[in-house]
Structure 1
Amino acid sequence: EVAPQLSVEPGISINRITLPQGRFTSNLARVRTTYTVTPLMFVSALLQYNSSNQTLSANLRLRWEYQPGSELFVVYNEQRDTLIPRFPGLENRAFIIKVNRLFRF
């Protein structure tokens, strides 16, 4: 935790996999960051590199609880192929808005 409102969480995962077709090692490196704007709103980001398919993924997410039990999420995801270092190719991109509304009766 860098500050009360900001946390940074790095991580590395090394997986040695054995299949009938052969063996390989997959390395996964990631950094997750969360910034709490208020007790009801936060912004988080995840940056991840996968060595087995050489992809770089990014995820940005905003969460806001606008009423107790009701939330708004705004999410952006992107995944890029890093086989050609100077020209990472776009594999996937998504922009998502999700609204939850709690109805009490």
Structure 2
Amino acid sequence: MAALTGAADLVIGAPGSASYERCCLGRPALLLVVADNQLHNAAALQEAGAAIVIGQFSHDTADRVASAVRTLAENPAKLHDMHLAAAVVCDGKGVDRVVEAVLSS
């Protein structure tokens, strides 16, 4: 999955824990909320500039995704900025920090 995500310019997914895997790979995302417990992640990732929240699934989800993809295709600088923002959200070194904290205590 990491290879597919790493090769993508843009990822469409839910704002669950996989969002941080995408961010670790520096991949911007369009987020579709599938559960209420994802609302906080969705808002935080959008505020960080790493994602655009499409909202919850409904009858017009495909239209909203298509519109967002068109917008980003017409604005490659925005997509690039999202890529940079995503890379800042999660550096992938959390385990190292936890091990260091455990060993130093």
- Please give the TM-score of this superposition, normalised by the length of structure 1: 0.23
More contact order relative to length (CA 8 Å, sep ≥ 6) = 2
Q: Which has the higher helix share?
A: 2
Greater radius of gyration (CA): 1
- Please give the TM-score of this superposition, normalised by the length of structure 2: 0.23
